[in-house]
Structure 1
Amino acid sequence: MAQELEIKLTLSPATAEAAFQWLSGLPEATVGDTKALINTYFDTPKAELNHQRAALRVRRAGDRYIQTLKTQGEFRAGAHRRQEWEWPLTGTRLNLGLLADTPLAEGVNLAELEPVFETNFERRIVMLEEGDTVIECAFDLGRVIAGEQSRPLCEVEFELKAGDEGQLLHWATRLSAAYPCFLNLISKAEQGYFLAGLHDPSALAPDSDALTRLCHGVSVGWLTGAVTDELRQALDDVLVGYEGVLSEAQKADLRRLCQSPDPDVIESLGALQLALMNT
């Protein structure tokens, strides 16, 4: 079992291409492989894994197959920290025996696991190395598919491989200052569950900090098209807590989100979100 720490930004496809070219040209960057990834997520008919805030998938990457289990984990300063188990497979079939020593071993009938949705995309890698810090930047472009339903997927994930955690926020902030995007706290798995009609993202715990709750509420609004109580309350808290930091124009943009989750406003929030994370 390992721990994964990452920051994820959602962009438009045109913006993602420009951002990839920009990041690739920096002196700290090395361009890695491009891969087509086909990911099948599994759950029981009662969505028991989702209720436990876990996600189980089998990924095909070329001639390699990987079984992965992830927990939802926690958010901190815009980054997502969660537990992760990975095992190589010989094909697309789940190996249930590998789950025996994980949290799924109790409370879930593993024999009932079945495919629920897919996230299929092309992944382009840029590695950033600065001193002892190594960050993998994964640009993902594709679709989330559940039965006859699908939705676009366009993200860049900054994942810490070694070194200073603070550099994740640094690099995400640099990209957000150069290209429109937003900090997305909704995972690919949550997007798939929502598309499959099995999951409405729940609010973060009330004791989560106001900015993280605001970012989560924005992400839920982007996914569902609905304004939540979490977003309204978090907005009130942020407007009070960051009174001397936010401009009147920024306050107006944030208030507009409580009228409707306007995609144009959301997709330009990244620079503001990450600037506030840095305060």
Structure 2
Amino acid sequence: MATELEIKLTLSEPAQARALEWLLARPEASEGPRKTLINRYYDTPDAALNRAKAALRVRQAGDRFIQTLKTKGEFVDGAHRREEWEWELAGPELDLSLLEQTPLHGQVDLSALALAFETNFQRQVVMLESGSSVIEVAVDSGDILGGGRSLPLREVEFELKAGEPGELMRWAKALACEVPVFLNLVSKAEQGYFLAGIYRPEILVSSEPLSVTKLLHTLSVSWLTGEPVKLPHTALSAITKAASAAGFDTEWQELNHSLQSGTTTDDLIQKFPELGRLQLALALVG
């Protein structure tokens, strides 16, 4: 078992191309391999893994097959921290025996696992090395397929391989200064579950003050479902303080007005090119 720490940013196709160009031009960068990744995710008919906040997949990269189990984990300082298990396979079929030493054993009927959806994409790897820190950047472009539907996939992921966790945020913020980004808390697996009709998150509105993490998650859910967000002033009071502490008073005032009036995340992304910078700043102080 390993612990994965990463920051995931969603971008438009033109912004992603500019992001890759900018990353490769950094003196700390070295260009890694370009891979075609075919990922098949599995769950039971009653979505037991999804309810357990876990994701199980078999990834094909060339002639290699890797079985991976991930837990939902937690969101800390703008980054996702998850437990992760990986095993090399001889072929594309699940090896259920490998799951016996994981939290799934005894909680899920492993014999009922079946294909739920796929995420298939091209990945360009860029390695960033600065001091003792090593970060793997994955620039992913492709599609998520489930339930007879598809979603375009365009992401840049920063994953810490060694060194200081703060380096993840430093690089994500630097990229956000170059191109418009969206800090997305919805995983590839959650997008697939949504398309397959297994998972449909809802936006819950309360007058109680939202935490930064809750606001970021709400925006991510709206991005996925297209559901509008309309929040009362009282729910945003703590975020106003966090934005001020981060030095983003002006940007937050505009966003705050839109959230109180009612809007979708897609509209916010179009209207506020600085949205990603604000999200990352809030995540760091919140």
TM-score band, normalised by shorter chain = over 0.9
Q: CA deviation at 1:140?
A: 0.4
Unaligned runs of 5+ in 2: none
Aligned match of 1:79: 79
- How many angstroms apart in 1 are the aligned matches of 2:22 and 2:131? 21
- Describe the superposition over 1:101-120 as per-residue Cα deviations: whole angstroms up to 9, x where unpaired: 10110121100000000000
- Distance, in Å, in 1 between the alignment partners of 2:120 and 2:234 is 35
- The 1:271/1:17 distance shift into structure 2, 3 A limit, reads same
Q: Secondary structure at the match of 2:185?
A: coil
Partner of 2:268: 265
Rate the CA distance shift 1:249–1:164 in 2: closer, same or farther, 3 A: closer
What TM-score do the two structures reach when normalised by structure 2?
0.90
Aligned AA (1:53) = K
Structure 1 portions without partners, runs of 5+: none
**For 2:253 and 2:193, how far apart are their aligned partners in 1?**
32
Cα separation, partners in 2 of 1:86 and 1:105, compared to 1, 3 Å: same
Q: After TM superposition, give the deviation of residue 250 of structure 1 in Å.
A: 2.9
Q: Which AA in structure 2 matches 1:95?
A: D
1:117 aligns with 2:120: no
Letter in 2 for 1:123: R
Letter in 2 for 1:154: R
Deviation of residue 273 (structure 1)? 1.2
User: The residue matched to 2:59 in structure 1 has which SS?
Assistant: strand
What's the counterpart of residue 221 of structure 1? 222
1:229 Cα offset (Å) = 7.7
Local SS of the residue matching 2:46: coil
Partners of 1:266 and 1:63 in 2: CA distance:
39
Q: Report the CA distance between 1:240 and its aligned residue.
A: 4.3
2: CA distance, partners of 1:257 / 1:31: 40
**Are residues 214 and 231 of structure 1, via their aligned partners in 2, closer, same or farther at CA, if it must alter by over 3 Å?**
farther
Q: d(CA) in 2 for partners of 1:191 and 1:231?
A: 28
From the superposition, tell whether residues 250 and 128 of structure 1 become closer, same or farther in structure 2 (CA, over 3 Å): same
TM-score (norm: length of structure 1): 0.93
Compared CA separation, residues 174 and 47, structure 1 to 2 (3 A)? same
2:254: which partner in 1?
252
User: May I ask how many residue pairs the two structures share in their alignment?
Assistant: 278
Equivalences for 1:43-58 in 2 at 5 Å? Answer: 43-58=43-58
* Contact preservation (8 Å) 1:13, 1:154: yes
Matches within 5 A, 1:154-165: 154-165=154-165
Amino acid at match of 2:216: C
* Partners of 1:120 and 1:144 within 8 A in 2: yes
Corresponding residue SS for 2:101: coil
CA RMSD of aligned residues (A): 2.3
**Percent identity, aligned pairs only?**
51
Describe the superposition over 1:65-117 as per-residue Cα deviations: whole angstroms up to 9, x where unpaired. Answer: 00000000000011000000000011111000000010110121100000000
Deviates more, 1:269-278 or 1:55-64: 269-278
Q: Return the offset for 1:274.
A: 1.5
Give a deviation string over 1:25-53, Cα, whole Å, max 9, x none: 11000000000000000000000000000
